[in-house]
Amino acid sequence: MTKPEFFIAGAPKCGTTAMQEYLRQHPGIFMPDMKEINHFADDLLKQDDPFLKRERYLSLFEGAGENQLAGEASVYYLFSKNAARNIKSFCPGAKIIIMLRNPVDVLYSRHAQLVYNGAEDILDFEASLAAEEKRRNGELIPRNIRIEKKLLHREVVKFTEQVRRYFDTFGRNHVHVIIYDDFKRDTAMVYRETLRFLHVDTGFRPDFKVINPNKRVRNRTLQRFLKTPPSLVRTIGKSLLPQSFRNVLLNRLRKLNTHYVSRQPMSPELRRRLQEEFASEVKGLSELLGRDLNHWSTDKSIDAQETPEN
């Protein structure tokens, strides 16, 4: 049975969806349609999560060709304290791809994505940040959220300790770190470097289309219904409609309930406070990577462009 040998481990809202899509187009690579499996993040998932089962996880790779390199993308592997160790045990020679971005921009972009996905019901960004302590104590948690700890926004963007964990577990030669600024500025170059890291043909060029732009739902009630339909509706649907038709119908309804909009800039005052808060984090990351990223703590305008992923 085919096993994945490379993992896009994080971080969220750093170009991972785009990179997954571009890698999936490569004839020498297989990645399942599903993203965010998070099989190895057993400290984040609930015990009854179906994708904790190894057989269910490996079934996602049954379509891989004999000569294809298999991989997957689950951005909370970086946040997880167990995932690096679990992946190492599963595949000692695994190659790890980590994509990073200014943590302040990640926080803002990620909040909008969580709202769209129905995993965040506090619509105001600053109010959501302020709710972290209560959420740490199990309060104000939205219903039917798969990973509750991802609402601890500040914890998710503590990249220095997270990246160091992967360096320590796999060695730097097996960890490929991509900075979102580079990915956005020269996507083709970063893509070629990633193919070189994976030891597959670097001559292939995918369709570098825009992936996962900022979006909002038109009707939040409909979005909640589509995300977690009542059990009676699910039962009737399964008995009357084949799975393929249900998937097409759900995807169509999601698209109709989505509109793409530019994100409003964060308030300058809030941005300044967050930059000050994360300045030491950025400094530590700069030292760990051997690259000066301290301009992230002084930039005055949020990176709000929608290419290649935001």
- Write down the pLDDT at residue 304: 44
Confirm whether 148 is domain-assigned.
yes
308 preceded by a cis bond (ω within 30 of 0): yes
Measured CA distances, 73 to 23, 152, 237 (Å):
11, 21, 30
d(CA 296, CA 167): 23
Residue 165 lies in a domain: yes
In this structure, the answer to whether residues 134 and 92 fall within a common structural domain is yes
Q: Same domain, yes or no, for 174 and 277?
A: yes
pLDDT digits (tens, 9 = 90+) for 247-273: 666 567 656 666 555 667 899 999 999
Residues 85 and 220 occupy one common structural domain: no
Residues of the chain with pLDDT under 50: 304-308
Is-contact 79 162, C-beta < 8 A? Answer: yes
Alpha-carbon distances, residue 19 vs 10, 97, 99 (angstroms): 11, 10, 9
224 and 207 in a common domain: no
Q: Is residue 282 in a domain?
A: yes
- The phi, psi pair for 13, rounded to 5°, reads 60, 35
Q: In this structure, are 281 and 157 located in the same domain?
A: yes
Residues 274 and 256 reside in one and the same domain: no
The reply to whether 118 and 230 lie within a common domain is: no
pLDDT of residue 143: 86
Give me the torsion for CA of 95, 208, 302, 295, rounded to 10°: 50
Beta strands per DSSP E along the chain: 6-10, 29-30, 69-73, 95-100, 175-179, 215-217, 258-260
- Does residue 189 fall inside a structural domain? yes
- What domain count does the chain have? 2
- The H or E element that residue 134 is part of is helix 132-136
Query: CATH number of the domain that 68 lies in?
Result: 3.40.50.300
Give pLDDT, residue 258: 60
| Position 25 in a domain | yes
Rounded Cα gap, residues 298 and 303, in angstroms: 13
Tell me, yes or no, whether 309 lies in a domain.
no
Domain membership of residue 241 as a residue range:
215-260
The answer as to whether 60 is a domain residue is yes
In the prediction, which pLDDT does 236 show? 63
Domain assignment present for residue 292? The answer is yes
The reply to whether 203 and 219 lie within a common domain is no
On whether both 146 and 248 belong to a single domain, the answer is no
pLDDT at position 264: 79
Same structural domain for residues 41 and 186?
yes
Q: Give the CA radius of gyration of the chain.
A: 19
Alpha-carbon distance 77 to 79, whole Å? 6
pLDDT at position 42 is 97
Residue 142 sits at φ, ψ, to 5 deg, of -60, 155
pLDDT for res 238: 66
Residue pair 100/14 in contact (Cβ under 8 Å)? The answer is yes
75 shares its domain with 222: no
- The per-residue b/e assignment along 18-42, b for 16 or more CB within 10 angstroms, e otherwise, is bbbbbbbebeebbbbeebbbbbbbe
Q: Are residues 269 and 232 in the same domain?
A: no
